[in-house]
Amino acid sequence: MIRAQVIVRPRKSIFDPQGDAVCRAIQHLGVTAVTQAHVGKCIELVLEGNDVEKARGQLDAICQDLLSNPVIEDYVLTLQPADAK
Amino acid sequence: MRWAVIQFPGSNCDQDAFHVLKNVLGQEVAYVWHKETSLNGADAVIVPGGFSYGDYLRCGAIARFSPIMPAVKEAAAQGRTVLGICNGFQILCEAGLLPGVLVRNASLHFRCEMITVRVEQTGSRFTSEYRIGQVLRLPIAHGEGHYVADEATLDELFAHKQVLFTYCTADGQVTAEGNPNGSQRNIAGIANRAGNVLGLMPHPERASEKILGSDDGLGLFKSILASD
């Protein structure tokens, strides 16, 4: 079994209104040291099998086609073998 | 003209579009369920507004993989008319039929109101019944209508006369004040380079009868009919 995690984040060059609102809310709560916030998504996947490299290739394609939109988002894919439990 | 209106799970403007085409304009129109794979020879396709697949992941991101989408892409490639309204615009962008993407409104608010757009081009099959600079009153209803593309793409869109509608003030000024969602360069609707695919966030199908407060949207459908 393999566990994969995909972190999708708005590209730095794209205005992120959600991150901006979160940043301002944090500052409003008194933590003024926070100057930036970026809101993304974390997608966790569980795969059958144990061929991590094969899974990486398949999931890379899925990340580009479905899980992220390359026009506005970047992603980081990490995979690791896991116990079936 | 024969029209197809696609229905995804979560579409909610499909019946409005169907109504305008059938009852206001007397067109032959049929619904096509997203699991079908053929448009049954329709001359024009409407990808309607709504919240396909609950807008999960990103608006339009899952709908673009629906079984009907290869037929929509084929129709676009053949030069047939493809019109994406609101969520339909988002789907066409995700499907790569139009450049760019729609993201969360800059204000973070869902905007549901009557707005004004300026007609930027009239050489298109979608706008021939309007005049350049004409101000249209159309409703919007979206949380993710903020059009984003890189600067080079934006320049190309304007250079090739693909920007058909821009958000404006009531007196036709294309300014930040007239922009309800933060769209880059006030873009409200764009066509593809070939000119047969249009996506726009405002709802012409909800403004095609006087009783609805505006019939400014009817010209868009009439333009398509005139191009036939």
Tokens of A2: 């393999």
Mean pLDDT computed over B68-83: 98
Residue A74 lies in a domain: yes
The span from the CA of A80 to the CA of A37, in Å, is 28
Residue A21 has pLDDT above 70, yes or no: yes
Number of domain units in chain A: 1
What's the confidence (pLDDT) of residue B59? 94
Residue A83 has pLDDT above 80, yes or no: no
Could you tell me which of A37, A32, A45 has the C-alpha nearest to residue A20?
A37
Residue B202 has pLDDT above 70, yes or no: yes
What's the confidence (pLDDT) of residue A55? 96
Mean pLDDT computed over B66-85: 98
Q: What is the pLDDT of residues B149-192, one digit of tens each?
A: 999 999 999 999 999 999 999 999 999 999 999 999 999 999 99
Residue A31 lies in a domain: no
Instruction: Quote the minimal CA–CA distance from A66 to chain B in Å.
Output: 6
Global model pTM greater than 0.90: yes
Q: What is the CATH number of the domain that holds A64?
A: 3.30.1280.10
Give the CATH H-level superfamily of domain B2-227: Class I glutamine amidotransferase (GATase) domain (3.40.50.880)
Residue A50 has pLDDT above 80, yes or no: yes
How high is the mean pLDDT of chain B?
A: 97
**H helix intervals, A1-85:** 17-28, 52-62
Burial of B152 (0-12, 13-18, 19+ CB in 10 A): exposed
Do B28 and B72 meet the contact criterion of CB atoms below 8 Å apart?
Answer: no
Residue A66 lies in a domain: yes
Torsion of CA A57, A58, A62, A63, to 10 degrees: -30
Residue B146 has pLDDT above 90, yes or no: yes
Do B65 and B53 meet the contact criterion of CB atoms below 8 Å apart?
Answer: no
The span from the CA of B151 to the CA of B157, in Å, is 10
Reported as a pLDDT band with limits 50, 70 and 90, residue B21 is very high
| Alpha carbons within 13 A on the beta-carbon side of B192 | 19
Residue A13 has pLDDT above 90, yes or no: no
DSSP string, B144-196: --EEE--HHHHHHHHHTT-EEEEEE-TTS--SGGG-SS--GGGEEEEE-TTS-
Domain of A63 in residue numbering reads as 2-14+40-81
What's the confidence (pLDDT) of residue B38? 98
Residue A6 lies in a domain: yes
Residue A29 lies in a domain: no
Measured CB to CB, residues of chain B less than 8 Å from chain A are: 57-58, 61-62, 65, 94, 100-101, 103-108, 146, 148-150, 182
The more confidently predicted of residues A13 and A26 is A26
Mean pLDDT computed over A10-17: 85
Q: What is the DSSP letter of A54?
A: H
Give the chain B residue nearest A71 (alpha carbons): B100
Give the chain A residue nearest B104 (alpha carbons): A17
What's the confidence (pLDDT) of residue A84? 60
Instruction: Quote the minimal CA–CA distance from B161 to chain A in Å.
Output: 22
Reported as a pLDDT band with limits 50, 70 and 90, residue A12 is confident
What's the confidence (pLDDT) of residue A16? 85
Residue A85 has pLDDT above 60, yes or no: no
CB contact under 8 A, A17 and B57: no
User: What ipTM, to 2 d.p.?
Assistant: 0.81
Tokens 């979560």 correspond to what residue? B10
- A78 Cβ under 8 Å from any chain B Cβ: no
Residue A18 has pLDDT above 90, yes or no: no
